[in-house]
Amino acid sequence: MKRFAELIKTLDSTNKTNEKVKALAEYFVMANDTDKVWTIAILSHRRPPRPVNTTLLREWAAELANIPLWLFEESYHIVGDLAETIALIIPSSTNSTEKSLTHFLDEMIALKPKTEDEKKTYLFYNWEQLNYYERFVFTKLITGGFRIGVSQKLMTKALAKATQLDEDVLAYKLMGNWNPSTISFQDLILEEKESDYLSKPYPFYLAYALEETPEDLGSVSNWSAEHKWDGIRAQVIVRNDEIFIWSRGEELVTDKYPEFQKFIGNIPNGTVLDGELLPYPNGEIGTFNDLQTRIGRKTVSKSLLEKTPVILKAYDLLEWDGKDIRSKNYLERRQLLEQLNKEKTKSRAIENSFLLSERLQFKSWDEVTKERARSREMRSEGLMLKHNHSPYQVGRKKGDWWKWKVEPLTIDAVLTYAMRGHGRRSNLFTDYTFALWQTNEDGEKELVTFAKAYSGLTDTEFREVDAWIKKNTLERFGPVRSVTPHHVFEIAFEGIALSKRHKSGVATRFPRILKWRKDKKIEEANTLEDLRSLIPNAVKESHK
């Protein structure tokens, strides 16, 4: 545990990726094997079930610190992290523990079925015994994951460095449901299996945003366009009668989308597709909100599958007949893809979950510009421009592929509530709620909440708003404060749809602060009606 606490401290105290990889790799060389397995499990969010709920944790921590619960809660709101708050308020100890990480986790697993009294005794004992940082790590293990900027990818990189194994192979080995209590480091990581390579994806080719005008790309006849779909970029691999779906974050998400299991047998082995996973309720592309109901679900209920099925909108073919065809040009690859699409539609089994992302050709850039203007109607974010002779490249590259998104929609709204941020923003009010004007039944103008946003200002501006909020608070509701309506901000967002879940009746996609409109008075902010008028007609129709 001492070594693990040191590791967490190091990871937590640097923003530099290289130093994190270095610290992790050193740990993976030095630590004992069971601790390594547990560390991998914890950093890939496979903690054991929480043995004590957070309500009890708060009560007990307040009791041990000899302070009233409300004071604990206030401190928590300001510190912004439960385990950190507990570690800070409990009287300090300078002891350190010799018990291993594995030992602690075994204890925590055994703790779950025990009585409240036993749990309390266990927590009090450890809280009092451990030094500040170990106490923080110990409590973190009980409360939840470590948000210390270590992605699965970063961890895999460090593991590759420590073991000299291939990163993609390791990524695959770490997928799925393995049990850290029973699996050995040898079985999980070191043992080589042929099947490890079966799922191996290709690196995604990513595009930069088009900065200049499309005319600068030369003759339009060299280019194709596709709509830029707003879902999850994914690679679908069918090999040896198995299917693997990788998200762009290089996360294996096969189990989350069971509708694609029927690709097996209907799409030939040795096929790798690049495309977008999109929600498809009522036989048409849904909004990102629809997709949100599927992301994060590990098990998908039958009713959810029926209500919000997911489809693959395929745009490229990377492997065909077991051969890597990425060096073929875009038109050749598309031809094979379109042929596959034609043949597979004979199979009714998959026609509902495999769709082609249409390749569009234009005679002039003007036509392309017009097509782009239709993006919101088409439920896309804009266009992708792809050079007809481009190979499928590795990573983010300039030149052959460009994304040309539509300009965000914007509206001027009034700041009404603020909440403290978390992590590096704890103790600063950086999470804001914005409202628009609406005339109520009595003919009075009132502000109605429409969106929350917490990005888009500079650190200096955040501090300025923070200081203002602290001096202009009307009411406090735990971590949230209502403030005097005074400041107007220009809010940008990518998409907009009617929503029953929102008080305003409108949901916006990816709202963020574009500009602090110090020049505007709150009376000059927009109305809810202005916001509704931005909803494209096609989207309105489908909700009727």
Residues that bind other proteins (CB under 8 A): 12-15, 65, 67-68, 70-72, 74-75, 78-81, 84-85, 88-89, 91-92, 421-428, 459-460, 463-464, 467-468, 471-472
**Least Cβ distance, residue 346 to other proteins (angstroms):** 56
Which residue type, as a one-letter code, is found at position 16? K
**Least Cβ distance, residue 77 to other proteins (angstroms):** 10
Q: Could you write out the DSSP letters of every residue in 487-516?
A: -EEEEEESEEEE-SSSTTSEEEES-EEEEE
Nearer to other proteins, 93 or 542 (CB): 93
Nearer to other proteins, 484 or 527 (CB): 484
Nearer to other proteins, 5 or 350 (CB): 5
Burial class from Cβ neighbours inside 10 Å (0-12, 13-18, 19+) for residue 398 reads: exposed
CA-to-CA distance for 37 and 156, rounded, in angstroms? 13
Characterize the bridge pairing of strands 232-239 and 271-279: antiparallel
Where are the alpha helices (H) located in 345-410, listed in sequence order? Answer: 348-351, 365-373
**Least Cβ distance, residue 12 to other proteins (angstroms):** 6
Q: Count other Cβ atoms within 10 Å, centred on residue 459.
A: 11
**Least Cβ distance, residue 93 to other proteins (angstroms):** 12
**Cα distances (angstroms) measured from residue 391 to each of 215, 262, 418:** 22, 29, 48
**Least Cβ distance, residue 317 to other proteins (angstroms):** 43
Q: Using an 8 Å Cβ cutoff, are 317 and 336 in contact?
A: yes
Q: Count other Cβ atoms within 10 Å, centred on residue 488.
A: 23
Nearer to other proteins, 307 or 463 (CB): 463
**Cα distances (angstroms) measured from residue 105 to each of 46, 114, 141, 159, 324:** 12, 15, 8, 21, 44
Nearer to other proteins, 482 or 527 (CB): 482
Nearer to other proteins, 19 or 529 (CB): 19
**Least Cβ distance, residue 322 to other proteins (angstroms):** 47
Nearer to other proteins, 178 or 468 (CB): 468
Nearer to other proteins, 59 or 118 (CB): 59
**Least Cβ distance, residue 88 to other proteins (angstroms):** 4
- Residue 82: CA count within 13 A, CB half-sphere: 18
Find where tokens 């929609």 sit. 409
**Least Cβ distance, residue 80 to other proteins (angstroms):** 6
The CA-based angle 517-523-528, given to 5 degrees, is 90
Q: Compute the radius of gyration of the chain from its Cα atoms.
A: 27
